Chain A
């Protein structure tokens, strides 16, 4: 029990969890941005752009995350000298690998969200004289975001757990930290349980944040928000 508590309150665990969250957050943000452009390409009238995006999505949905991690850490520096330098750390490699992979999934989520925005919405916006980019920014995007929040939050939570895969390229994230403790003492349960507690905690915080964001996107006036609260 002491080992378990010591692990939970140790700097190493906190740091490991910090690395996991930082890595997952950066990956997810990059993946959302890249995925959004992939979606725009996918639905564009330009057949070449659409095909490139389609091939990208097909390819990265097929490749296992672990394999991609290996490729980014071992193969890419072998092929490109640029990636043999000091800055290319396990963190950067994991970030790029996961982001590139996750972008394919985000592209699918965002495309589904885009399709489910009622086509009367851009039509009404265009009828008011908005330009295509205004239609996208002011009308389509807010509605797309609302639809995409739950599946994206799901991906983000998955990403927190995926970061544990980076233990194979010896990134000092949470699971590697737990492994270090195990290797020194051969006390499996305590160290792994402590890691489990951290994952539970991280995901709980994310779920809380998600529900706050979803409430922001309820699209009801303050008065009726209050009356709904009152009903509860």
Chain B
């Protein structure tokens, strides 16, 4: 069963055509790695799948529900409040962590539980502590973001998304803002998630990592999917010249 169906998706910013008819299906349990040069629209695609911005054309279905669709020029309006409810099922992790600086680690994780899920504070803290333990941060629960390393911040951000028990996790270059020695601790957490069967879309430049955990690699360039295949196919036998050119840069 497809958890996500992206169909002929278009997005413009002003006169810039950013996404040019993207088609992408994600099945339950899929781990897809999205590769592509910077500025090609990868982050935009993730933000649209996370229902954070209106689409211009095409449709996105998540979990069987048509969440955003637009055919024959009619723009279907979604209310921010309805979208907010649908977004709970999708976790998103950003390149720059975007932790809430005014809350310590455990409150960062607990905030959505108390505000969005209306769980009482005590229970929320228990569950958040559990989640922080899972990402290896039991000893950092009362630390504020400014007191954590980049790798620790990103692990808190992952815990913050996971605590809502999403069906789908979206990672937008989760290790690109990290010092090299901190990359591994974050990738380990994501690898563990994959082993637990989480459905994930991961934008990354970490080729070795993509190769290890993805069941499919999606090559993205200039607002389009250029090529998809197993890691084996893409990394050893890319068909498209644009893929080969990109891989020469990152490998």
User: Interface residues, chain A, CB within 8 Å of chain B?
Assistant: 118, 120-121, 123-132, 134, 138-139, 142-143, 146, 217, 219-224
Contacts and interface: CB of A to CB of B under 8 A. Distances in A.
Contact of B94 (A120, A146, A220): A120
A219 B101 CA distance: 7
Given A120-B96, A220-B146, A224-B147, A127 B102 contact: no
Interface residues of B, number: 35
19 contacts: A121-B98, A123-B98, A124-B98, A124-B99, A127-B52, A128-B112, A130-B84, A130-B112, A130-B115, A131-B80, A134-B116, A139-B100, A219-B101, A219-B102, A219-B144, A219-B145, A220-B147, A221-B104, A223-B142
B212 interface: no
A128 B111 contact: yes
A211 B212 CA distance: 52
B112 A129 contact: yes
Interface of B: 47, 50, 52, 80-81, 84-88, 90-92, 94, 96, 98-102, 104, 111-112, 115-116, 142-147, 157, 160-161, 164
A132 B88 CA distance: 14
Contacts of A220: 144, 146-147
A127 B115 contact: no
B94 A124 contact: yes
A221 B101 CA distance: 12
A143 B100 CA distance: 9
Nearest to A145: B102
Nearest to A124: B98
Given A120-B94, A131-B80, A142 B144 contact: no
A232 B161 CA distance: 38
Nearest to A128: B112
Nearest to A217: B102
A221 B115 CA distance: 23
Contact of B87 (A127, A139, A142, A143): A127
Given A120-B94, A121-B100, A221-B147, A126 B52 contact: yes
A130 B115 CA distance: 7
Nearest to A223: B142
Contacts of B86: 129
A123 B104 contact: no
A118 B142 CA distance: 23
* Overall SS of chain A's interface: helix
Contacts of A142: 102
Q: Give 8 nearest A-B pairs by CB, closest first.
A: A129-B88, A124-B98, A120-B98, A128-B112, A127-B92, A142-B102, A129-B87, A129-B116
A126 to B, nearest CB: 6
A127 B90 contact: yes
A123 B144 contact: no
Contacts of B91: 127
B116 A219 contact: no
Contacts of A146: 102
A128 B94 contact: no
A128 B101 contact: no
Nearest to A126: B52
A220 to B, nearest CB: 5
A146 B47 CA distance: 28
Given A127-B52, A129-B164, 7 more contacts: A125-B100, A127-B87, A128-B160, A129-B86, A131-B80, A131-B84, A221-B104
Contacts of A217: 102
Contact of A143 (B102, B115, B144): B102
A126 B87 contact: yes
Contacts of B100: 121, 124-125, 139
